Amino acid sequence: MMTADQLKDGLRTASFLLSYPDAAWRFGLDEAEAAAGALEGQPAAQLAAFVAAARAADAQEFEKRYVDAFDFNKDTSLYLTSRDRGDDAQRRTDMLAYSVFFTEAGYTPEGESPDYLPAVLELAAEAAPEVAARMIRTTASDVASLEAALEAHDLSDYAQVVGAAIALAGAYEKEAVLA
């Protein structure tokens, strides 16, 4: 069983791996690999496999694929309220709910919308356990929807990172509830 600190490090690692893969990101792969190696079970394997695939890929092709996947496809956007919303009013309501988590935790997402998955994962790792647990429960269906969309669009490597985040978040939520 992983400790709360391992789970938090895993969430931070998933957040990092889902961020834009520029040169600085490539430089951070060593740290991501080490963090994945400190985890246990399926999340460890998923994150390690993603790091290995990222290292093996051509940097420019990997960046282009990221942009195509997350910036030009509403279905696979990392902005969790960008899909499955009936109208703009619902999206605004949901966006407000996401922003409340950041406000309650005393954080502001740096240059990103509060529904940006890497920011959500980072907050889950940093927030008080009870806030993180509530946030994880609230965002679970949006994150699972993203994972399914990634699989449907032949982006299984990114789906593995999201799947690892789901498993880590679920374990952290249980840990937070028991604490």
| Bridge partners, 116 (sequence order) | 79
Q: Is the Cβ–Cβ distance between 112 and 82 less than 8 Å? A: no
Q: Is the Cβ–Cβ distance between 159 and 147 less than 8 Å? A: yes
- Give the pLDDT confidence score for residue 103 in this predicted structure: 85
Q: Which residue has the tokens 């907050």?
A: 123
Phi-psi domain of 97 (left: phi exceeds 0; alpha: psi -120 through 50; beta: other): alpha
| pLDDT tens for each residue of the chain, 179 residues long | 888 899 899 999 999 999 999 999 999 999 999 999 999 999 999 999 999 999 999 999 999 999 999 998 888 999 988 876 667 777 788 888 888 888 888 887 778 888 899 999 998 898 888 788 888 888 888 899 999 999 999 999 999 999 999 998 888 877 765 55
Q: Taking the model in full, what pTM does it have?
A: 0.92
- Give the pLDDT confidence score for residue 176 in this predicted structure: 65
Annotated domain spans of the chain: 4-178
Q: Which residue has the tokens 């060593």?
A: 30
